[in-house]
Copies of this chain bind each other. A is one copy, B any other.
Amino acid sequence: MCGTDSPASINKGSLPSANGNGTRSPTCSSDRVLNLEQGDPSVFQSYWSKMEDKCTMVISGSQLMSYISDFTTLCWFMEPEFQEAVRRLHRVVGNAVVDDRYIVVGTGSTQLYQAALYALTSPGGPEPVSVVSAAPYYSAYPEETDYLRSGLYKWAGDAYEFDKNGTGPYIEVVNSPNNPDGTLREAVVTNRGDEGKLIHDLAYYWPQYTPIIRPADHDIMTFTFSKSTGHAGSRIGWAVVKDKEVARKMSKFIEMSTLGVSKDSQQRAAKIMGVICDGYKNFKSDELFFEHTRRVMAERWERLRQVVDRNQVFSLPKYPKQYCLFSGELIEPYPGFAWLEAKEEEEEIDSQKVLRGCIKVQGRTGSRFGVAQKYTRVSLLSNEEVFKEFLERLSTIKSMTSNGH
């Protein structure tokens, strides 16, 4: 049983403390650490392997050489084929309003988040604008907001807290479905006049993860190729923006940050989105991307809940079924992450450390998301082999606090 090979290294009967040495024996379970900290979307790779010939991108040596895609448009470095593909995909899925909206391409939604902060602030204010998001919030927001010590904006933490005690202009980031906990969200700060602005991070608002309850229609909505189709290595994201001036400032940010966005990847994204949309047009059921990937995610969640229910050490969020406009059915969310909460009462339980120490599963601690460390986020987007190994290891944990796990 896990943890029994080298008892000297284990704090018997109690959890390793947050600051103590929580590393268990390396012979505990397998030697290999399963890295499930990032949301690397390998789960979708098998689908694309089957689509190989349709999706193959061919770029000759003399193509896509210019900085410029179309100097007559606001986002002059965006490939027209990419923009068309994005609009078509949203129309097929019905997850966002794109008519009469501006599209801005970015180097992943990470860059677009920063572009939006830049676009929503102006130099010369007395204080940097407060940026908030409801806890548990995406763990990268604080760092991405503060690493350059910008005079334009600063991270101000949990939006619920800001709603109670914060003052002054703010930007609230609404991440829906939320990373890490998978819930569908609305803004939480009560707006005071025109002090508040919103960014909607809709990276996971796709049918494999969540019911599509309405076509989203917010001022700034960001999406990413990484989570929609699984192509994280291409670093492609896009924003759907209502206001022309905001779209222009976001484009300007990307110009100053990276002088545009890889055309190779824009063209590849356009091709792959086109293959998805063609599938729905031709309706060959064995090829439909979102049905296939939702089945995979549903099956993973079923297997995960069985293990979690059986060993009674963690709990998982319960999600209500909702009517999905895309599938025409009442469906459950199947988030890309398991948001594991240790069932023990103590808030101090460090479930990340237990998972890492005992079964060599690397998740990300709740404290990175602004909540207690009894929570750990674990990616469910790995390939099947890793996911299966994760479940096998998880099933060996019998208790958070005793030597029996």
Which residues of A are in contact with B by a Cβ distance under 8 Å?
Answer: 35, 38, 40-42, 44-46, 48-49, 51-52, 54-62, 64-68, 71, 107-108, 110-111, 114, 118, 123, 140, 143-144, 147-152, 226, 230-236, 253, 256-265, 268, 272, 275
Contact = CB atoms under 8 A, between A and B. Distances in A.
A240 to B, nearest CB: 20
Contact of A147 (B110, B256, B258): B256
> Top 3 A-B pairs ranked by shortest CB distance?
A55-B61, A149-B151, A48-B62
Nearest to A224: B259
Nearest to A110: B259
A41 B67 CA distance: 8
Contacts of A230: 65
Nearest to A144: B256
A52 B61 contact: yes
19 contacts: A41-B65, A42-B65, A52-B60, A57-B58, A57-B59, A64-B231, A64-B234, A65-B233, A66-B232, A66-B233, A107-B107, A107-B235, A143-B256, A148-B151, A233-B263, A235-B259, A262-B265, A264-B264, A264-B265
A45 B57 contact: no
Nearest to A269: B264
Contacts of A233: 64-67, 260, 262-264
Q: Oligomeric state, in number of copies?
A: 2
A256 to B, nearest CB: 5
Contacts of A56: 58-61
Nearest to A256: B147
A40 B67 contact: yes
Contacts of A147: 118, 253, 256
Nearest to A124: B149
A67 B265 contact: no
A235 to B, nearest CB: 5
A122 to B, nearest CB: 10
Contacts of A110: 256-259
